Amino acid sequence: MLIKRASDIRSSEITPESVYRSRREFLQTAAAGAVGVYAGASIFDDVLSAQAMIPGIKKSPLSTTEATHTWEQVTQYNNFYEFGTQKSDPARYAGQLRVKPWTVKVDGLVAKPADYALEDLVKPHQLEERIYRFRCVEAWSAVIPWVGFSLADLIKRVEPQGKAAYVAFTTLQRPSEMPGQRTSSLEWPYVEGLRMDEAMHPLTLLATGIFGKELPNQNGAPIRVVVPWKYGFKSIKSVVRISFVEKMPPTSWNIANAREYGFYSNVNPTVDHPRWSQARETRLGSFVKNKPTLMFNGYADQVAKIYEGMDLRKFY
Amino acid sequence: MSAGVLRTVKALAWVVCAWPGADLFYNTYWGDLGVNPVETLRLDTGEAALVILLCTLAVTPLRRLTGWNRLQGLRRMLGLWAFFYALVHLALYILLEQACLYWSDCRLSLIVDDVVKRKFILSGMVSFLAMLPLALTSTKGWIRRLGKRWQKLHRLAYLAGAAGVVHFIWKTKVPEPKPYAYGAILVLLLLARVVIAWQKKRAAAARNAA
């Protein structure tokens, strides 16, 4: 009996792509700031329309055609330890975070270091919708329509020096508005990093929105990184600093537990987390952890070549 | 404490123990288990099992402390509820987590692998296996048949509690207060046993001296 209900939930909670597409088309034809009232409205559409719409988004051939998850699933369940360790904490506590004004410091081995106001950082770039698979290291996954631009475009703009081999990212540290930072669950601020070729990969996204709207705070507003072939924690949120460095930068989860979380943390069904298998995942909305996890989260065709010759068991 | 009061306490305790299960059942029916239903079911049944197990272990110290000997009548019921939640927790792990809902999807070798390879899973399994014989021998018949050995056997409840706490601690990605709080409660309850045993010994010595 329990099982039967499960399949009911699954089909109703995931927005069919056709519905989502038609919403998107409607939103895109509507004038900016128009209040969206459209088919398939749920109570979360109220929340959805509370976030400002992003105008002029282009579609991307890099998007998956899989059905996206719903606004509720994407915004009410995630990890953002700055707001607490429970999956409901980000949605519950992130409202108090002020994301305007926002400055991103670009520094290190780069020709044009500067403190960029968010608007100036984003303005020169054509925003695209990128529908990516998202795979958490905890073995749940989702399909999320991000809005953003390739990190590579920003990197080219700021002209890194030849010596710059890695890009290091830092999340905002503001304990007064981020209650999780008043605990020592992780070392603060949260830091992440990518090898230069990973950062330059066209799939690597600097995201400012989801579902055609500005990012809600709990999802890493106002700007975050999305690296779809890596476990979710590599996709650092609420970025305030991007540094170009020579040596592999420290990363938060690696500092917390190096045996469990490597620098690379590529999605890999053949390398288990010490405490659980990574061979299968639970697609949010499903009752059963029965979806086989794909190498590089299904992006092997695009990214496998940059890891050629590397022992991915050793460099997990 | 009169027999009537005990009956009331027992009925209340029954309702409290049934509550998390009823709540999960209700929310499962209405599709209201949150964004990741499997995780909600897994976490809530696991925690219910551990909390009720700790309550079971608290009965004897509480009885000693208050002198309400009838409280002992709560112990079996609490223990069986703890076992019930542990059983559901394990079933969820096998059916949903290991995708054994359909026999064709089920890879028993993967489950064995998981249990053997991962101390986090192993600790949970130890806790469950420690409770299993206790649940099976909880009937009047078995209590009579086992006599003194029954009490010895049922000391496995401590192992179940300890393994359960360790399972919870090993489950978290970063140290969190809750599993340690349960650990502290377990340590207190075990210390209470030591004190009780010591008091008994002293009383016996005093009797012998007299």
Does residue B155 belong to the interface with chain A, where contact is any CB pair within 8 Å?
A: no
- The whole-angstrom distance between B5's CA and the closest CA on chain A is 37
- Domains of chain A by residue range: 2-307
User: Which band of pLDDT confidence, cut at 50, 70 and 90, is reported for residue A49?
Assistant: low
| Assembly ipTM | 0.83
Can you tell me the mean pLDDT for A172-192? 96
Q: What is the largest CA-CA distance in chain B?
A: 71
Task: Name the least confident of A143-152, A169-178, A239-248, B187-196.
Answer: B187-196
Mean model confidence pLDDT for chain A: 88
pLDDT tens track of chain B, all 210 residues?
A: 688 888 999 999 999 999 999 999 999 988 889 999 999 999 999 999 999 999 999 999 999 888 888 888 899 999 999 999 999 999 999 999 898 888 887 888 889 999 999 999 999 999 999 999 999 999 999 999 999 999 999 999 999 999 999 999 999 999 899 999 999 999 999 999 999 889 889 999 988 887
Window 62-81 of B, Cβ < 8 Å to A: none
Does residue A277 belong to the interface with chain B, where contact is any CB pair within 8 Å?
A: yes
CATH architecture observed for domain A2-307:
Alpha-Beta Complex (3.90)
**Chain B residues touching A81 at Cβ < 8 A:** 174
Does residue A289 belong to the interface with chain B, where contact is any CB pair within 8 Å?
A: yes
**Residue A15 pLDDT > 60, yes or no?**
no
**Residue A22 pLDDT > 90, yes or no?**
no
Does residue B28 belong to the interface with chain A, where contact is any CB pair within 8 Å?
A: yes
Over residues A239-277, the pLDDT tens digits come to 999 999 999 999 999 999 999 999 999 999 999 999 999
Identify the pLDDT of residue A14: 52
Among the listed residues A285, A302, A313, the one whose alpha carbon sits nearest the alpha carbon of residue A15: A285
Identify the pLDDT of residue B112: 92
In percent, the amount of chain A with pLDDT more than 70 equals: 84
The residue in chain A having the minimum alpha-carbon distance to the alpha carbon of residue B98 is A289
Among the listed residues A155, A236, A123, A141, the one whose alpha carbon sits nearest the alpha carbon of residue A189: A236
Does residue A72 belong to the interface with chain B, where contact is any CB pair within 8 Å?
A: yes
**Residue A33 pLDDT > 50, yes or no?**
no
Give the pTM. Answer: 0.84
Q: Are strands A166-171 and A291-292 parallel, antiparallel or unpaired?
A: unpaired
Bigger pLDDT: A19 or B1? Answer: B1
Whether A288 sits inside 8 A of B101 (CB atoms) is yes
Encode A142-196 in three state secondary structure: EEEEEEEEEHHHHHHHHCECCCCCEEEEEECCCCCCCHHHHCCCCCCCCEEEEEH
Q: What are the φ and ψ backbone dihedral angles of A127, each rounded to 5 degrees?
A: -80, 140
Whether A5 sits inside 8 A of B175 (CB atoms) is no
Do residues A116 and A168 lie in contact, with contact meaning Cβ atoms separated by under 8 Å? no
**Residue A40 pLDDT > 50, yes or no?**
no
Task: Name the least confident of A18-27, A203-212, B47-56, B190-199.
Answer: A18-27
Residue with tokens 């990969």: A201
Can you tell me the mean pLDDT for A130-139? 97
User: Which band of pLDDT confidence, cut at 50, 70 and 90, is reported for residue A19?
Assistant: low
Encode A207-223 in three state secondary structure: EEEECCEECCHHHCCCC
- The whole-angstrom distance between B198's CA and the closest CA on chain A is 40
Report the side by side order of strands in the sheet with A166-171: A114-117, A103-108, A239-245, A166-171, A191-195
- Domains of chain B by residue range: 3-209
Identify the pLDDT of residue B102: 82
Q: What are the φ and ψ backbone dihedral angles of A276, each rounded to 5 degrees?
A: -155, 160
**Residue A6 pLDDT > 80, yes or no?**
no
Nearest CB among B35, B95, B101 relative to A284 is that of B35
The residue in chain A having the minimum alpha-carbon distance to the alpha carbon of residue B43 is A86
User: How many beta-carbon contacts under 8 Å exist across A and B?
Assistant: 78
Identify the pLDDT of residue A48: 54
